[in-house]
Structure formats: structure tokens, C-alpha cells
Amino acid sequence: MCRKLIKFNLSFSLLIFVGLFIIPLSSHAAGCAITPAPDFLRSFSFSNIPWPEVLKPGSTLIKTLGPARHPAWETAWDRARRQASAGNLKEAAESYRQALTAKPDLKAAAWELANVLHVLGRDNEAIKLLADMGDGGPEYLRTLAALEVNGGHFQLAAEYFISLLKNNPADQQSLAGAAFALLKAGDSGAALPYLKKLFKLSPDSPGLRRALACLTYEHGDYKTAARLFISLSGAADTPWRILRYTALSLEHSDKGRAVSYWRRLLARRPGDMEAQRYLAAYYEALGQVDKALPHLLALRRRYPRDHNLLKRLGKCYLGLKDLRKALKCLVLYRHLVPADLESARLVVQLQAALGNKDETLKALRDYIAIEPRPDRGKLKQAAELYGEKGLYSQALDIWRRLLGMSPDDPEILRAMANNFLAIGHNEEALKIWKHLARVSPHVIDVYRPMARLLRRMGRRQELTEVLEAIYEIAPADENVKLQLAAIYIGSGRDEKAVPIIESLRRQGCKRPEFYYWQGRLAESGRRLSAALKDYDRLLHSSFKRLEILGRAIRIAGELGRLDEVGRYLTLRRALKRPISEALALDIAGAFANCEAWQEAIDSYEHIINETAGKKDWPQITQVRARLTAGAALGLAAVWRHNKRLYEAGQALRMGLFVSGAGDLLVPRLFDLALLEGRPREAGRWLTLLHNGKGIAPWDFNLLKARLLLAGGEENQARRLALRLEDELQGGAAGENRNRRRPGRYLALADFWVRLAPGRAAGLCKAVLAREPANPRARVILLSLGRLTISALIREIRRLPTADMLVYARLARQYDQPALASLAAAAAEIREPDSLTAKVISAWALIREQRYRAGAAAWEA
């Protein structure tokens, strides 16, 4: 019985130290249970519970009981004791109940019965028995608590232990019991304060320290847990579980310090994936991808199906600038997790960095397909790549999408316009540029592409407006100024080009284009010497052009500078470029203007013979035919000037035969026939001209009037000429606009010079009313005596040199030697090297019968 009593006393202690430290772990440490050695409660057994004396081994009360007669309760009690000592516990229990029935207040017997019931495993009966006693003493509560624990009623046991602590808060036995019971009841939070108090009373107990460390960790008191685990992990042979929990605790408070424990754990257990996982995450968070990489690789080897590790490895390689390995990992991850946006963006970034444009575009398509709100930068990148590959329709689809996100964005609008241009939708592109100009009216880059487009489309008026807008924004822009000057000069608006050219001159512009357009402006203003200076500068620079050479030769001819013409011809040969028909015609005309008749004849004949020598005549272009006709006209004029009318006629006939330009050449053949007194031949030419329908009715009728006059039919000629004059001066403005050309007025004036000088003068005055400086009208008036030479020469001296020579040539044509002499002399003062001025001066002197002076002029 005594041995069984001792077993009962120790049973509760065993439950305490075995159960207390099987602590539930948090979810992240499941499977890594820490089971500290249950040594700290061994000194806190319940063997010292003050059971009644009769129950203790060697009790004198048991020895003194004898066979004397006693009351029934005492007899039953005695029998019960003897049965218990003999091990007949069931009979003993019955005897105890008989004794207690006879004497209910027999507390000692009740205590003994409770002990027997406990040994029999009938703790519930024992508890009820003791509860009915209602003793209330410490030993009573402690026993009840022990019985409740043994019966699995942990919450009730905890209440008994807590009641004991009210009277003795430092009772380690009660503290341990309360902690144990609460833990077994699943209320670890309530158990923690009792365990902490117990640890304060016994701080040197390793088992208690381990238990408290685990429990504080479980309840989130990571600082306390870390401190306790650190104190347990100082030894080199610290259990790996302690190292793990030390690291886990420090993860919440001091990640840097936790790393050392994770490393210690890996040194002990190289295959510990928890340590690998935490170290990889730690170094990734710090951006130390070189240190994170080995841990990620270890995790990848252990968990090959963890797809997220591929993504992390890809980002790690990206941080190490190993783009190909990063791309390999991320592409594999994309195959496994195609809906992941971050990896889609990274694959785009890597493909672009490696220069794989096709793969970049494919990656962008994948990214855009899964991203409900794609990044604008990625959309733009995709649109640009589509454009680079020539997939403009796809590019436009994305640009439209971007425009919906950012309406009126200039960059997007520009890109859309360029894509439309690439597929030939010029109107759509222009529409966008115009809209962009309204959105950003003061941004110069908006207008430049629009100007290029309009130039390509040949829309000169709109191009001018755009260039003017650019000029207003950037008045110092040389390119724009030069383009505007080109448009203004090319369209005859010299007055608008003048301030632009002046502005470029003030800026000190040295560009070849500037000198070209300055020369063109001077040429159109008849300042031929200044124009020739600019052209000459260009011809002696890298900006050599045959067109400029032709202009220089033509101007040198107009100024009568034969030496200059020769110099430019030498320059042309040095260029080693094939000569064009237009340039050849300019050369011949220059010789003719310089009165170099033989050179002019040779040049004109060369042009005609070149065309005549073509084997395949149908291949002769209309332009070449007109140039050949021009050469024939020039050659005929040279022969006619030199009184060789036959050669002039032959030149015209050859030109007509080669070029077929009857509208140009037949009227001259008609003139030549009249000049030679062959009206019948002139009539045939007129018939040919009429049948060919290559001449306007008004011009045809004027030729007819001249033919009638030459044939002696003066009245008919007069009537026809009067009708032509009425047509010139009457009728609707729109209907007769071409008829009222100054040339027709003057041609009709030539007709009236001998028949009706007054009418001729009236026609000339009508021309001067519209063109006050018309030289031919003035010379005709002078020949009619309707204008004084003194008044005319004053005006001529204020004119450019080239215009002086024009008057000199007209004066010779209309046989006005005085005017020719004065005009040529004025021109020679400005152009001492002008052969034309010298020749006309000599002619005028001879015509005025000043032969000696004329001969001297010829000699000069």
C-alpha cells in the first residue's frame, strides 16, 4: 500500500515534466519540434503532500489497531485498512464506504478511500469524494489538482493550482502545476506568465529556459525568445533545433544577426532547406545577389518543381549582369507560369538588352496580351519595333491605343504621322500634323516634318504657310529662311524674299544656298553683275552645278562679257560632265549677245545637228524638240542680223524638219518670206500654220493682215488690224486676258508704224500704262517722235547695265543710232569689258556717218 501511495504521489510530477515541453510549434516550423530535456521539474514533485499520518509508511496508527471491540464504523475502517495493506483494494474501497456511511465526518477515512480509488484508476470517484469533504486546505487543493490532472480535467486542475498561488505566489510546485495544466488545456497564453515567474525563481534550469524560449517564440515575443535561445546556443555542439529557433527568433528583430545562426545551422546541416531559404531571401532583400545565388541554386536542386525559384534565379542573374542565364531562367518560368506579369516585363527587358528585336517584339506581344493595363513605355516600345519591322498597321493600332491613354500627346501624334507616311497615306499624315500644329502651335518640331511632307506632296502654298509659321517661331533659322527665299523667288514674289536674304546677309550666312538665292534675287532684279558675282563664287567652290554655270554664262552674255563666257566654258570642260541641251542653248545665246557671231553659229548648228543625228527619232523628247527649235530660231536671228537671209531660212527649215515645232518656226519663216518679198511663199507658210492649228486665232489673223498688206490689199489689211485692235481693247477681262498681252500690243504697233503712226503710239502708251518701264514700247515711241531722247536717256542711265544693253539692242533693231550710242556708252562705263557695248557703239557711230570714230571703235 505504501509503495502504491508513493506511486500516486509521483504520478503528477511525471505528467508535469513529460507533457509540459511538448510545445506546439508555429506553422512555419512544423515538423521541427524541439523537445527539451524534462529535468527542471524533477525537484518539484508532489511527494511531500501532507497526507494523513495513518497513510504514511510505518504509521503507528495501523500498528496499534487490535482485536478489541469498537463501534461499527471503526470496525469497517480497520477492515478497510487491512484489506488495503493486503492489496485487496476493491474490498478495501467497499469497507471504507461502509465506515463513511456509518460516520460521514470521518475525514481521515475519506482521504484514505480517495487514495485507494486513485490507485484503482477511479479518479472521478476520488475527486467527488474529496469535493464532498470541502476541506479547503492546501493539501486538499493540491490533491484535488493532482487528481484532476490525472483524470484529464486540466482546466479545473489549473484553477486549483491558481487558488493555491493566491496564498503562496512563490510556490514553485503550484506555479509548475498551473503552467502544466494550462498548457494541457490548450491555453498556452495563460500558461506563459506562470512559466515566466517560475523561470525567475529558477533561472539556472536549462530545461525551463528552453521551455520558456519555445513558448515566448510561439506567442510572438521574439525578442525574449531570441535572448533565451541565444543563451542556449553558445556551445559549439548546440543542438541544431536550438540554432534554428535562435535564427527564427532573430529574423523578427535582428535579421543581420540571424544570418550567423543560419550559417551555423548550415554548417551543421548542409541540407537544411529552411536555412537556405532564409539566407537566399535575406541576401535578395539586400540586393547582394552574388551571395543569394548559391542558396537559390541549392533550393532549386532540392525543389525542382518550385517554379518561383526560376523567377528568383532569373532576377538574381539579372542583378549579376549575366543576361543570358537570366533570360533562360525567366523564359522557362514564363512557360510554366504564363500569366505572371513581372516575368513578362523582365523578359521584354532582357530581350531588348540582348538586341533580339524579333524576340523582344514577341515578348512584348505576350506581355500586352496578359496585362489589362499595359505600361505605356512597353506599348511604345512595341509600336516602335513594329514600325522598324515595317509592320506599320500593327504599329498604328498600338499608337492609337496610346493616343486613347494620352490624347493630343505630341510624341504619339508624330509617330502616327510617320507611320502613315511609311504606308503612303500622306493625307492622313498631313491631317495629324495639322492637328498637332493646333495642339502645339509654338513647338517648332511640329512644323518641320509637316514641311517635309508638303514638299514631297508638291503642295507649295501649304508648305509656304508652314515655313512662315516656323520662321515666326525661329526667325534665325537659316534652313527655313533659305527654303522660304527659294519659294518666294521661285514664285516671283521677290519683294518677300528681299528681307529674308538681307537678314541672312546680316547673320553672316556663308552657305552655298544663300549665295545661290541671293544671286537669283539679284538676277530677277536685273542686277546681273551682283548675280554673276554670287554664281562665280559658287562655281569656284564645291557647290558646282551645271544649272548655275548656265545662268552665269547667260548673264555674262547679256553683259557682253565674251571673256567671261570663254572662262566659264573652260570651267565646264573641267567639270567633265555631259552638257545638256539647255546649257548648250545658253552658251549659243551668250555668244550671240556678245556679238560673237561665228561662235554663236557653231553652237546653234551643233545643237541642231545633235538632234538630227539621233537614230531613233521617236525617242526625241518634246523638251529636246523645243530646245532644237530654239536653236534654229537663234541661228536664224544671227544670220538675219548679218543680212544673210538665205542661211536664216535654211536654219529655220532644218529646225522645223528636225523638231517639228511648227508653232515656233513657221511664223519666223513667214516673216522671212515677207522680208524677202515673197508673199506667195509667206501665204503657203500661213496655210501650213493654220492647218497645223499650232497658233492662236488672234496671232494668225495678225500674220494674215501683214500678208494682205504685203500683197497690196491695204484696205483689207486695215480692217482686219482694226478688228484685232478692238479685240485687244474690248471684251470680258477673263475672255481676253491672254489677248491683251503686251507683246500683242507691240506686234500690232509694229504693223501700224507706217500705216497709222498715231495708232501705233496709242498701243505703245497702253502698254506703258500697265508696264511703265517696257523698253520696246519706249523705243517705238521714240522712233515715232512721240518721246524725246533726252528724257529717255536720263531714265536709262538709272537702269542696271543689262537693261542699258537691252535698250541699245532695241535701238539698233529700230534703227535709232543716237539712242543706241548713248545707251551703249552708258553701259560701257559700268562694264568696260562689255564687247556688246563696244560693238553697238561702233555700229551707232557708223550709222551716224561718223566713220572714223566708228572704225576706231571697231579697232578697239
pLDDT tens sequence across 636-664? 999 988 889 899 999 889 888 888 888 88
Residue/partner pairs of 319-324 with CB below 8 Å, 24 or more apart = 319/287, 319/289, 320/289, 320/290, 320/293, 323/350, 323/353, 323/354, 324/354
- Single out the residue in 261, 293, 325 at which a domain terminates: 293
Q: Do 311 and 366 fall within a single domain?
A: yes
The reported pLDDT for the residue numbered 49 is 34
- C-alpha 198/C-alpha 208 separation (Å) is 8
Going by pLDDT thresholds of 50, 70 and 90, the confidence category of residue 474 is confident
| Residue 612 within a domain | no
480-486 long-range contacts, CB within 8 A, separation 24+: 482/511, 482/513, 482/514, 482/517, 483/451, 485/517, 485/521, 486/513, 486/517
Does residue 805 fall inside a structural domain? yes
Give yes or no: residues 313 and 323 share one domain.
yes
Q: 858 pLDDT band (50/70/90 cuts)?
A: low
* DSSP secondary structure, 175-200, as one string: HHHHHHHHHHTT-HHHHHHHHHHHHH
Domain count, the chain: 4
pLDDT value at 36 more than 50: no
**Residue 17: pLDDT above 60?**
no
Domain that holds residue 252: 220-293
How many Å apart are CA 277 and CA 643, to the nearest integer? 113
Residue 136 and residue 140: Cα distance in Å, rounded? 6
pLDDT score recorded for residue 857? 59
Average pLDDT value for residue range 21-26: 34
The residue with greater pLDDT, 60 or 303, is 303
Residue 619: predicted pLDDT? 52
Same domain, 329 and 362: yes
Judge if 852 and 792 occupy the same domain.
yes
Asked if residue 103 belongs to a domain, the reply is no
Of 396, 427, 446, which closes a domain? 446
- 438: domain CATH number is 1.25.40.10
**So what's the pLDDT on residue 33?**
34
Q: Are residues 275 and 310 in the same domain?
A: no
Give me the pLDDT at residue 735, please: 42
Residue among 628, 563, 627, 633 nearest 591 (CA): 563
Q: Which of 257, 199, 196 is nearest to 230 (CA)?
A: 257
Q: What is the mean pLDDT of the chain?
A: 79
Q: Over 90: is that where the pLDDT of 105 sits?
A: no
854 and 808 in a single domain? The answer is yes
Same domain, 354 and 388: no
Q: Is pLDDT at 339 greater than 60 in this prediction?
A: yes
Residue 322: inside a domain: yes
Query: How many Å apart are CA 68 and CA 50, to the nearest integer?
Result: 29
Q: What is the mean pLDDT of residues 209-236?
A: 76
381/367 same-domain check: no
The answer to whether residue 441 scores a pLDDT higher than 80 is: no
Query: Is residue 327, in this structure, part of any structural domain at all?
Result: yes
Same domain as 335, residue 267: no
In a domain, 177, yes or no: no
Range scoring the smallest mean pLDDT among 246-260, 390-404, 702-716: 246-260
Cβ(591)–Cβ(565) below 8 Å: yes
From 234, 233, 217, select the one nearest 225 (Cα to Cα).
217
Considering only residues 540 and 207, tell me which one the structure prediction assigns the higher pLDDT. 540
CA angle 224/225/227 to nearest 5° reads 65
Distance in angstroms (rounded) separating the CA atoms of residues 120 and 416 = 96
Rg over CA atoms, the chain: 62
Q: Of the candidates 374, 394, 425, which is a domain's last residue?
A: 374
Distance CA 315, CA 281 (A): 12
pLDDT above 70: residue 668: yes
Q: Residue 478: what are its φ and ψ, rounded to 5°? A: -65, -40
Q: The C-alpha cell of 859 is what?
A: 579697232
CA atoms within 13 A on the CB side of 509: 23
> Which residues are CB-contacts of 569 (< 8 A; sequence separation ≥ 6)?
553, 587
- Looking at the structure, tell me whether residues 347 and 357 fall in a common domain: yes
Contact between 449 and 414 (Cβ < 8 Å):
yes
Q: Which three cell numbers stand for residue 9?
A: 504521489
Query: Does residue 127 contact residue 111 with C-beta atoms inside 8 Å?
Result: no
* Per-residue 3-state assignment (H helix, E strand, C coil) for 721-779: HHHHHHHHHCCCCCCCCCCCCHHHHHHHHHHHHHHCHHHHHHHHHHHHHHCCCCHHHHH
- Max mean pLDDT among 23-32, 184-193, 219-228 falls in 184-193
Q: In the predicted model, is pLDDT for residue 781 greater than 60?
A: yes
Q: What is the DSSP letter of 619?
A: G
Work out the average pLDDT over 415-425. 76
DSSP states along 145-159: HHHHHHTT-HHHHHH
Q: Provide the b/e sequence for 550-573 (b: ≥16 CB within 10 Å).
A: bbbbbbbbbbbbbebbbbbbebbe
Q: Is the pLDDT of residue 774 over 80?
A: yes
Residues 6 or more apart in contact with residue 56 via CB below 8 angstroms:
2, 5
Cell of 804: 542699258
Q: Are residues 323 and 385 in the same domain?
A: no
Q: Does residue 617 lie within any of the structural domains?
A: no
pLDDT band (50, 70, 90) for residue 7: very low
248 and 287 share a domain?
yes
Q: What is the mean predicted confidence (pLDDT) over 51-69?
A: 36
Q: What is the pLDDT of residue 344?
A: 83
Beta carbons within 8 Å of 498's beta carbon, 6+ residues apart: 521
% residues pLDDT > 70 (the chain) = 85
Residue 620: the pLDDT is 57
Question: Closest Cα to residue 199, out of 12, 11, 18, 41?
Answer: 41
13 pLDDT band, cuts 50/70/90, is: very low
Which pLDDT value is given to residue 30? 32
Of residues 479, 433, 432, 487, the one with CA closest to residue 463: 487
Domain assignment present for 731: no
Q: Which residues contact 711 (CB under 8 A, 6 or more apart)?
A: 679
Q: Which three cell numbers stand for residue 660?
A: 517639228
